[in-house]
């Protein structure tokens, strides 16, 4: 659209933005209205992707259902790896778990191997759009359909994928930024000057690992591990972390807000 490359997710790469320039007597058509929406959507997504980062914002707990053979996802919000908001407004439908069936890609004797594709699945939440609200197409063209979707509903979908999602590595990547109690701005500027994160091939967010039961057995609550999910470090969360550091573990209200 207007010189912007399409890498499968138009408008989320590092290309200049284009917006409408209205003038009196201008003929507006579908292209102009699409451009108007795309401009703001792309701006928001870019800020989410490169400023806030991806992961779970709040909620989205993964719970084992009473049958021990399915899981559901509680309400919550996430930002996917393209910066799009994923909103789960109510508890999701039950997602059936397959029985355990080990299918290793390589010899499984090495110590600490966690690939076990047939023993684990990862629960992922993905952004999903649905065309909805069909309306009559008011045109005289002979080859035009009588109805067309008049709205796009932003929804979500839950996917199960073989294997385990990796545990987040909670290690510092800002080498030599803090030394002797002082911040090295030179080191910080060097770190931030690295290339911007590229667009990922898979924008979905893993929110839990589930250890599968055999065909005869059932999963237990302890088989669901939500600690592998990436987290969006909001300003409130960062403020909480600062208060935890300076309070030496003393009891206090939740950030003074709640």
Residue range 134-162, pLDDT digits in tens? 998 887 666 666 888 989 999 999 999 99
**CA geometry: angle at 225 spanning 222 and 230, to 5°?**
165
State the burial class of residue 59 (Cβ atoms within 10 Å of its Cβ: 0-12, 13-18, 19+): middle
Q: What is the pLDDT of residue 4?
A: 40
Q: How far is CA 115 from the centre of its chain?
A: 23
Separation in Å, CA 91 to CA 12, 73, 74: 30, 6, 5
In 3D space, the residue among 58, 62, 60, 57 whose CA is nearest the CA of residue 225 turns out to be: 62
Q: What is the pLDDT of residue 6?
A: 42
Instruction: Kindly give, in sequence order, each residue whose CB lies less than 8 Å from that of residue 152, ignoring residues fewer than 6 positions away.
Output: 129, 130, 131, 132
pTM: 0.82
Six-digit token string for 129: 């759009």
State the burial class of residue 209 (Cβ atoms within 10 Å of its Cβ: 0-12, 13-18, 19+): buried
DSSP state of 120: E
Measured CA to CA, the distance from residue 119 to residue 25 in angstroms comes to 64
pLDDT in tens, 28-76: 999 999 999 999 999 999 999 999 999 999 999 999 999 999 999 999 9
More confident residue, 4 or 244: 244
Q: Are 92 and 115 in contact, with CB atoms under 8 Å apart?
A: no
Say if residue 196's pLDDT is above 90: no
- Arithmetic mean of pLDDT, 168-175: 78
H or E stretch including 86? strand 85-88
Measured CA to CA, the distance from residue 217 to residue 68 in angstroms comes to 8
Give CA torsion, residues 104, 68, 204, 149, to 10 deg: 130
């Amino acid at each position: 659209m207007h010189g912007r490359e399409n890498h499968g997710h138009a408008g989320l790469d590092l290309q200049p933005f284009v917006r409408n320039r209205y003038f009196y007597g201008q003929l507006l058509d579908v292209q102009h209205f699409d451009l108007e929406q795309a401009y703001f959507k792309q701006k928001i997504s870019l800020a989410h992707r490169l400023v806030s980062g991806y992961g779970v914002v709040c909620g989205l707990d993964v719970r084992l259902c009473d049958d021990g053979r399915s899981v559901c996802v509680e309400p919550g919000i996430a930002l996917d790896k393209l910066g799009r908001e994923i909103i789960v407004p109510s508890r999701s439908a039950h997602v059936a778990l397959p029985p355990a069936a080990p299918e290793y890609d390589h010899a499984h004797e090495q110590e600490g191997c966690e690939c076990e594709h047939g023993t684990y699945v990862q629960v992922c939440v993905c952004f999903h759009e649905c065309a909805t609200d069909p309306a009559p197409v008011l045109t005289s063209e002979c080859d035009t359909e009588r109805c067309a979707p008049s709205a796009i509903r932003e929804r979500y979908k839950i996917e199960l994928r073989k294997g385990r999602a990796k545990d987040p590595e909670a290690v510092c990547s800002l080498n030599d930024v803090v030394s002797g109690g002082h911040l090295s701005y030179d080191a910080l500027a060097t770190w931030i000057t690295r290339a911007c994160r590229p667009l990922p091939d898979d924008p979905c967010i893993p929110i839990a690992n589930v250890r599968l039961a055999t065909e005869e057995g059932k999963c237990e609550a302890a088989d669901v591990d939500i600690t592998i999910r990436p987290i969006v470090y909001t300003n409130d969360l960062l403020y909480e972390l600062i208060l935890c550091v300076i309070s030496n573990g003393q009891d206090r209200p939740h950030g003074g807000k709640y």
